Amino acid sequence: SQGILRGGTANSDSHTLAVETLGYPRTLVFAGQSLASFDRERFNAAVRQGRMVGSNGPVLLACIDGEDGGCHEPSLESFRPRSGAALRVEVRAAPWIPVEEIRVVVNGRVAARVAADLAVPADPFGSDGVLRYQGAIPVDDLLAGVSGDAWVVVEAGSHLWPAADREED
């Protein structure tokens, strides 16, 4: 919101063995290549362009319909959504990874939550039930009350506890 553009990454900022989970978060970079055809320059360019997502288990794929006819995936590139555009979201996770809600954050505020339509695997130790959600949210609903440009973050995982300053300090 202050004009500094950075792509989202995951970080394993661990200081102790007892509190933080070591090495759990992952950054998934969308460089359009396989391991067999890995090109370091292409990978680095994708990172600089913000074509990546951070994850602590769920794999979240999201895009917004653009005026140019494409569906724009995460990046630092600005674009104009088409009239009637949708945020298209797909969440996949291993059965033992909790996915209790999806949150859509617009300019730092939660603009939408999805919880009712999430699939819950029958066996948390099985291999079925990886697709947890696939759907679309109207962009007009997300941008209600927003004028000008906006940035969007989509999160999937456990419910977040309300944050409050109970001591008013």
**pTM: predicted TM-score of the whole model, two decimal places:** 0.84
Q: What is the pLDDT of residues 118-146, one digit of tens each?
A: 999 999 888 899 999 999 999 999 999 89
Burial class (CB within 10 angstroms; exposed 0-12, middle 13-18, buried 19+) of 91: buried
Q: What is the 3-state secondary structure (H, E, C) of 96-130?
A: CCCCCEEEEEECCEEEEEECCCCCCCCCCCCCCCC
Q: What span, in angstroms and rounded, lies between the C-alpha atoms of 102 and 118?
A: 9
pLDDT of residue 139: 96
Q: What span, in angstroms and rounded, lies between the C-alpha atoms of 64 and 110?
A: 17
List the structure tokens of 25. 């978060």
